[in-house]
Amino acid sequence: MKVHQYCSFALKSETVSAGEISARLGMQPDEALVLGSRSAEHRLPRMHTWKVTHRGPGPVDDQIESVIGRLAPVRPGIRKLVDEGASAVLQVVRYFHHRDGGEEFGWHLSPAVLAFLTEAAAALDVDEYDLSE
C-alpha cells in the first residue's frame, strides 16, 4: 500500500493577519491564507492562517521533526500569539493507496516534539484518508 503524507504547523487568528504574524515572529510562512468573504454569511477562509509546511517523500515523523526544528527559535512568539487568542495546530495528513505514495506506515512524536507542542499550547490534528476503491 502506498502512502502520501505531509505535515504543517499553523497559526490561525480572526484578528491577526498572516503578515502581522510574520512580522511578530520574524519568520516568513511557507503558506498563508487571508480571511475573506463573499457575503456576511459566507466567510472563506474563516481565519487568517500562517503555515510552515513540509511536503515530499520520507516518513511523516521526519517531516514533523523538520517543521518543529524550523519553528524552535520562534516558539516563545508562537506561545505569546496563542495567549493573545490565536490558535496553533500541528496537522498531519496521510492518504493511503495513493498512486504517488511511499511505503511509510507508522509514525511517532518524539519527546522534543511533544514538549514543543505543549510549550506552544498547540493542538495535534491528524487526517487519514483511504483512497482504495
In tens digits, what is the pLDDT along the chain, a chain of 133 residues? 687 789 999 999 999 999 999 999 999 999 998 876 444 544 566 788 999 999 987 889 999 999 999 999 999 999 999 999 999 999 999 888 766 666 667 889 999 999 999 999 999 999 988 887 7
Range(s) of the domain holding residue 69: 4-130
CATH number for the domain including 11? Answer: 3.30.70
In order, the DSSP letters of 57-100 are: SS-HHHHHHHHHHHHGGGHHHHHHHHHTT-EEEEEEEEEET-TT
Predicted model pTM: 0.85
- The pLDDT, as a whole number, for residue 113 is 96
Altogether, the residues listed in the chain come to a count of 133
- The pLDDT, as a whole number, for residue 98 is 64
Number of domains within the chain: 1
